[in-house]
Amino acid sequence: MNIMVTNDDGIHAAGIRALAEAMTELGSVTVVAPDRERSAVGHSLTVHTPLRIFELHKGWYAVDGTPTDCVNMGIHNMLPIIPDLIVSGINHGANLGDGITYSGTVAAAMEANLMGIPAIAFSLATFGPSEHFAEAAQIAVHVTRTVLAHGLPSDTYLNVNIPNCPRSSMLPPLITRQGKRSFVGKIIDKTDPRGRKYFWLGGEESHLTDEPGTDFHAITLGHVSITPLHIDLTNHKSLSILSKWAF
């Protein structure tokens, strides 16, 4: 196997080091990741400025762009052959519910899927300090082995969230659907020492709907959550309704 590893926390993050090391059990690993943290950039692509690549050491490349940029650079410019698999993460923080639309970690897997390459995004469900990245990486290997054994369905990539606890305390993986999150928008309005206004985009703690079968519910109970995703954003239920309107 030729495996490419990327993330949105940056190439120096603990999660990508753990994931890349663990993936060597499955094949040859090349890391192509942002040169710094790029969390919450979603599926953004750099088109107005040039990109630069920095080789940190053999098989480890930093790109001064987004996770989506990294996938494109890795496939089209840097890797000698197209990778058999792209894995993204391990993100420091859960990617649950419709919050995944902001995630650069999930977007990297989405971009790989667009290019016809099997892809999995992995996240560790904590934003605080964690000592469980190595154990989460072993879960990632287990999930990846299963994917390789069966092959992903067409038009499918996976969003995997892992509880922040020792592996011995985790409950078996559950196949879940994407949950719902209610966002509370907030912009912090301040004045700097020179008297100029500045604004900081933030948000109060959002509420995830704890419904059985959702990714959030699985993580709350201590299960690994595996959610199959695809890129079609069409609201198919609305097609028949809108087709009757006199546009």
Can you tell me the mean pLDDT for 82-94? Answer: 96
Tell me what pLDDT residue 109 has: 98
Across the chain, what does the average pLDDT equal?
Answer: 93
Quick one: 13 exposed, middle or buried, by C-beta within 10 A (0-12, 13-18, 19+)?
buried
How far apart are alpha carbons 48 and 12 in whole angstroms? 26
Phi and psi torsions of 218, nearest 5°: -60, -45
Can you tell me the mean pLDDT for 155-167? Answer: 95
Note whether 72 and 32 are within 8 A (CB).
Answer: no
pLDDT tens digit sequence for 15-47: 999 999 999 999 999 999 999 999 889 999 999
Would you tell me how many other CB atoms lie within 10 Å of the CB of residue 12? Answer: 14
Phi and psi torsions of 216, nearest 5°: -65, -40
Can you tell me the mean pLDDT for 73-91? Answer: 93
Tell me what pLDDT residue 124 has: 97
Give how far Cα 91 sits from Cα of 18, 100, 132, 136, 206, Å: 11, 12, 12, 10, 19
Q: How confident is the model at residue 108 (pLDDT cuts 50, 70, 90)?
A: very high
Whole-structure pTM value: 0.92
Q: How confident is the model at residue 164 (pLDDT cuts 50, 70, 90)?
A: very high
Tell me what pLDDT residue 53 has: 94
Specify the higher pLDDT residue, 129 or 70. Answer: 70
Q: How confident is the model at residue 143 (pLDDT cuts 50, 70, 90)?
A: very high
Tell me what pLDDT residue 203 has: 56
How far apart are alpha carbons 174 and 158 in whole angstroms? 12
How far apart are alpha carbons 145 and 150 in whole angstroms? 9
Note whether 7 and 89 are within 8 A (CB).
Answer: yes
Can you tell me the mean pLDDT for 137-159? Answer: 96
The alpha-helical segments, DSSP class H, found in the chain are 14-23, 67-73, 104-114, 133-150, 215-221, 236-242
Q: In sequence order, what are the beta bridge partners of 124?
A: 92, 162
Structural domains of the chain, with CATH? 2-180+209-242 (3.40.1210.10)
Q: Given the structure tokens 């990846």, which residue do they identify?
A: 144
pLDDT tens digit sequence for 184-222: 667 888 899 999 998 887 655 566 777 899 999 999 999
pLDDT tens digit sequence for 47-59: 999 999 999 999 9
Note whether 137 and 22 are within 8 A (CB).
Answer: yes
